[in-house]
Structures are given as structure tokens and as C-alpha cells.
Amino acid sequence: MIEEKYAQKVALAGGVPFLIPSITGDMELIKNTMSSVDGLLLPGSRDMDPKFYNEEPHPKIRPMSIERTETEFAVLNEALNKNMPVFGICGGMQLVNVHYGGSLYQDIYSYLDNLLPHEKGAPHDITVPGGTKLHSITGVSEFQVRSYHHQSVNKIGDGLQVCALSPDGIVEGIESLSDPFVLGLQWHPELEVTEISDRIFEAFINECRKVK
């Protein structure tokens, strides 16, 4: 199960994974739940309803439950209010971008031309600009990842910057310019057995250890 992969990576990096169920409509429960954790990892998912970034659904959208999306927005807001580290992966990165006021391409192949394959584990290179948090974590400017997505970031959210790009211009990473640790990656580092993947999860867990 993909959830197991996330948990394994967190545990291998020295953290204790804690899974949060969809608990919409009970903010007190959400606050109590978030008081028990030191960081938030938003995992990959199906597509959020585009109403969250003021668009009508595209025919190729693969909808996720509204309850899960609303829960993820609520726990993300609580994490940011507490200055917790936030790590978004694939759909989790997209949710972070929308939370900060950004938007998405609902289906990259319907809106953009001359794209590389980005689904079913397609391999491609990414570049990481110097001076970004992701570059300081990975220590490299270019490496290969595998993609499992048909959506991507369109408008960058306020206060975020791009920290990774694929050769065809798809945003592969975003990070906050002001929050202590808010990182989003479009690929799935939990599925990759690489030193770079380990560094990313270790950096997230190390930030979680700093939370008081």
C-alpha cells in the first residue's frame, strides 16, 4: 500500500508516523489531533475539486472525496499556525500551492504542448536552482525522478517559489519563502530508494525535532 511507503520512509528517517483520518466538521478534534504531532506530511492523492481554486471541473479530472480535501486544508492551516514543518508530495504539493492562493493545470496534456511523459512512473530529469532549500537538502542541481501525475502547478501560490523544474517546464518542487519549512515535491520520493530521497525525508524529520 502506498500509505505504508510513506510510513516506512518517515520511520527510517527517525520519525514516528501518525495517520490522520478524514475528520471534517470538528475543528476541536482537528486541533487536538494536531497538538499530538510535530510536523505534517501531505501525501499523494486523486484530484481535488477545482472549486478550491475557482475553476470548473475538466472532463479528465479524477476526483478525490471532498471530506479528505477539506480535512487536509484544515490540518495544513493548523500546522502553519503552529509553525510546524510541512512536506507535501504530489497531490499534497498541489494542495499546498492552492492553500497559498495558487492554481493547477487540471490535466497538463490538455493545456500544454511538447510535454514529457509524467504518468505511470515515467523517468525524467529535474533541475534544482541553487539557493533554494531543496538544493541545500539534496546538495545537487540535477537528478532523475519518476512521475505519477497528470496535474501540475499552474499559478504559483503567494509566498512560494519554484525549487525544481522538469525539462519541459513542469513545476516539480515548491517551497515557502518565509515559513521555516514548507516543501512540496511533485514526484514520489517515498517510492524511490536513493540517497537523495533519504536526505529529503531526513531533513523533514530533523525539522520536526525542532518543534517545541
- Active site annotation includes 90: yes
Please tell me which residue in 188, 192, 207, 208 is annotated as part of the active site. 188
Contacts 24+ apart (CB under 8 A), 160-166: 160/96, 160/97, 160/100, 160/102, 161/132, 162/129, 163/128, 163/129, 163/132, 163/133, 163/134, 163/135, 164/126, 164/127, 164/128, 164/134, 165/126, 165/127, 166/116, 166/118, 166/124, 166/125, 166/126
Please tell me which residue in 172, 190, 192, 207 is annotated as part of the active site. 190
Phi-psi category of 54—alpha, beta or left, where left has phi over 0 and alpha has psi -120 to 50?
Answer: left
- Active site annotation includes 163: no
Please tell me which residue in 72, 78, 90, 118 is annotated as part of the active site. 90
Neighbour tally for 186: CB within 10 Å: 29
Which residues are catalytically annotated? 90, 188, 190
